[in-house]
Amino acid sequence: MKKLIITLSIVIVGLAVKAQQVPLLSHYYYNKFVWNPALAGFQKYGQAYLVYRNQWNRVPGAPITKSLTVDGPLKSKNVGLGANLYQDNAGMFNRTGGMISYAYGINFSENSKLKLGMGLGFIDNRLSTEDMIYKHPDDPLLQLNNNNKTGFDANFGVNYTYKDFNFGVSIPQVLALDIKYEQPNKSELVYKNTRHFQFNTSYMIKAMEDKLKIEPSAFVRLTPNAPLQYDVSAVASYRDMIWGGVMYRSKYAFGMMAGLRLAKQFVLGYAHDITVNSNKTYLRGANEVLLGFQFGSGTDDEELKKRLKGIDDRLDGDKAKIEDLDKRVKTNSDDIEKNKDDIKKNTNDNTNQSDDINTLKRMFEELKSKLGKGTVEVGDVYEFQNVYFATNRYDLSNEAKAELDQLVSVMKENPSLKIEISGHTDDRGTPEYNQRLSERRSKSVIDYLVSKGVSKDRLTVFSYGEAKPASSDLSANRRVEFKVIEK
C-alpha cells in the first residue's frame, strides 16, 4: 500500500508541475505530423505510424501513451490530410483523443513555403478511482455520478520552410475547454484543459551527394503556470534507410534513438530516455517504439534516380563509341567503303547535327548583327543548341564547349554586353535536388566562359530547377539559356 501511495504521488505531482496534458513523445523528429497539424501531407507519400511509449519504466501507474497517425498529400501538392488517435494514461487520468486535420500550403518561391493546418476532434477524459487509497472516503469531491466525460477539441499549426531550414508552431487544445463532472451535492468538479504552445526549429545538413543527412533541432513547450520545457536533439541518417541520434530533455532525461526502413516502406524505430534529474532512482527513464508504413508515390525516388543514372551512363558510353567512329571515318578515307553501313545509320543524326550547326551560326550572326545595329533589346533570350546535360550531370560536352566559344567571341567583340546564364532541369527527382542541380549547370557554364577570358562581373547566374520546362521532352529541359541584361 505504501508503494502504491508513493507511486500515485509521483504521477499526480509530476502532472501538476509539468502541466503536460498532451502526449509526450520522442519520435516527433521522424513523424512530424504527430505534433503539428500543418505538417499533414508534408512528405510526397502517405504514411501511417503507431507509437507506444512507457514512461518512468517499472513504476506502477506511470504514464503510458499509445498513438496512431495517418497522413498524406492530395493530388494537389498544396493540400494534405491527416488523422490521429491517441490514448494517454497516467495514474487516475485516462485520456483518449481523436482528430482529423487539414493542411494547406502557400509557395512563395521554389525554396520558400508556408503551411497552415487545423485539426478538429474530441477528448474523452476518464477519472479512474478504482486503485486509489482514500484518506477521507466520505469527501464529497470524490463522489462522482459519472467519471467519464467527452469534450470538443481543436489544434492549430503553422510551418515555414526555406531551403533546408524549418520552423513550426502548434497550439494543441487551442480552445482550452473545461470538462465538468457533476456530484451528488449538485456541485461541480472541473478538469481544466490547458492551451499548449509548441515550437520546433531544425536545419538539414547534407553531404555525400545527399546520401548523408544530419538534422539538429530544438523543440520548446510553453504551458501557462508551468516551467518551460525544451528538447535539443541531433539525428543523422544514411540514404534515409538507417538513422540514429541523441536528445536532451530539459530537467528530465538524456535520450538515444535509432531506426531503419525495411523493404523501402516499413519503418521501425526505438527511443530510450535515461532520467538524469533527482528522481532518477524512482523514474527509471522511458521506452518508446515506432512502427510505420509508407505508401503511395515518392517512396522510391532514390531507387528511380539510380536506375535513370545507370541508363544515362550506358547512353553516354554509346555516345562515346559513336564519336570515336565518326573520328575514324573522317581521318581515314580508306575505311569509308568499309563503314558505309555505319554512315547510313548515322545519316539522320548527321543531318540533325548540321541543322543544329546552321541554326547556331544564324543565332550568333543575328546577335552580332543586332549588336552592331543597336537593336538588341534587354531581356532577349537565346537558347543554346548543344548545351544540354545528361540526367543528374552538370559537366560540359565538347559540343557545348564549341558553342560557348562562339558566345565568348561575341562577348569579346562587345565589351559592354552583360548576360544572365540560367540553368534548367527536367522534373525527375525532388524540387530541392533539381534546384541545386540547375545551379551547378549554370555554374559550369560561367566557369567555362571565365576560363576563356570573359570577366565574371559581366555574367549573372540564375537557376530555375524544374520550374520552366521547355517541352514534354525531358532531354530538352536539361538545358542552359542566356539572356541579355545590359547591352
Strand order in the sheet with 418-424: 381-388, 479-486, 418-424, 459-465
419 in Cβ contact with 482 (< 8 Å) = yes
Same domain for 293 and 369: no
Q: H or E stretch including 231? A: strand 229-238
At 116, the amino acid letter reads L
| Residue 302 within a domain | no
The DSSP-derived string for 386-423 is EEE--TT--PPPHHHHHHHHHHHHHHHH-TT-EEEEEE
Nearest to 193 by CA among 174, 211, 210: 174
Same domain for 230 and 369: no
Q: Which of 297, 312, 333 is the last residue of a domain?
A: 297
Side-chain-side CA neighbours of 121 within 13 Å: the count stands at 21
Say what the pLDDT of residue 10 is.
39
Say what the pLDDT of residue 352 is.
43
- Report which of residues 21 and 304 the model is more confident about: 21
pLDDT at 410 over 90: no
Say what the pLDDT of residue 407 is.
82
| Residue 324 within a domain | no
Say what the pLDDT of residue 49 is.
97
225-252 confidence digits (pLDDT tens) = 888 999 999 999 999 899 999 999 998 8
Q: Which of 278, 297, 316 is the last residue of a domain?
A: 297
Same domain for 351 and 286: no
Same domain for 9 and 133: yes
Q: Which of 272, 297, 322 is the last residue of a domain?
A: 297
Number of domains the chain contains: 2
Question: The domain spanning residue 288 has which CATH number?
Answer: 2.40.160.40
| Residue 303 within a domain | no
Same domain for 208 and 293: yes
Say what the pLDDT of residue 272 is.
94
At 221, the amino acid letter reads R
| Residue 159 within a domain | yes
| Residue 351 within a domain | yes
Same domain for 406 and 286: no
The CB density around residue 349, as the number of other CB atoms within 10 Å, is 11
| Residue 58 within a domain | yes
192-208 confidence digits (pLDDT tens) = 888 999 999 999 999 99
Task: Give the best-scoring range by mean pLDDT among 134-138, 245-249, 446-450.
Answer: 245-249
Confidence band (pLDDT; 50, 70, 90) for 176? confident
Same domain for 286 and 362: no
Same domain for 26 and 175: yes
pLDDT at 145 over 80: no
The CB density around residue 471, as the number of other CB atoms within 10 Å, is 8
What is the overall mean pLDDT for the chain? 78
Same domain for 264 and 366: no
Say what the pLDDT of residue 350 is.
41
Structural domain of residue 365, as residue ranges?
A: 346-486
The CB density around residue 114, as the number of other CB atoms within 10 Å, is 15
| Residue 334 within a domain | no
1-42 confidence digits (pLDDT tens) = 334 333 444 344 333 334 567 888 999 989 999 999 999 998
Share of the chain above pLDDT 70, in %: 69
pLDDT at 404 over 70: yes
Confidence band (pLDDT; 50, 70, 90) for 311? low
C-alpha cell recorded at residue 470: 521547355
Question: The domain spanning residue 470 has which CATH number?
Answer: 3.30.1330.60
Q: How far is CA 226 from CA 22, 37, 229, 277, 451, in A?
A: 14, 24, 9, 17, 63
| Residue 131 within a domain | yes
Burial 314-327 (b: 16+ CB within 10 A, else e): eeeeeeeeeeebbe
pLDDT at 379 over 60: yes
Same domain for 353 and 248: no
What is the value of pTM for the model shown?
Answer: 0.58
Say what the pLDDT of residue 244 is.
97
- Report which of residues 245 and 347 the model is more confident about: 245
50 in Cβ contact with 269 (< 8 Å) = no
444 in Cβ contact with 395 (< 8 Å) = yes
Same domain for 126 and 36: yes
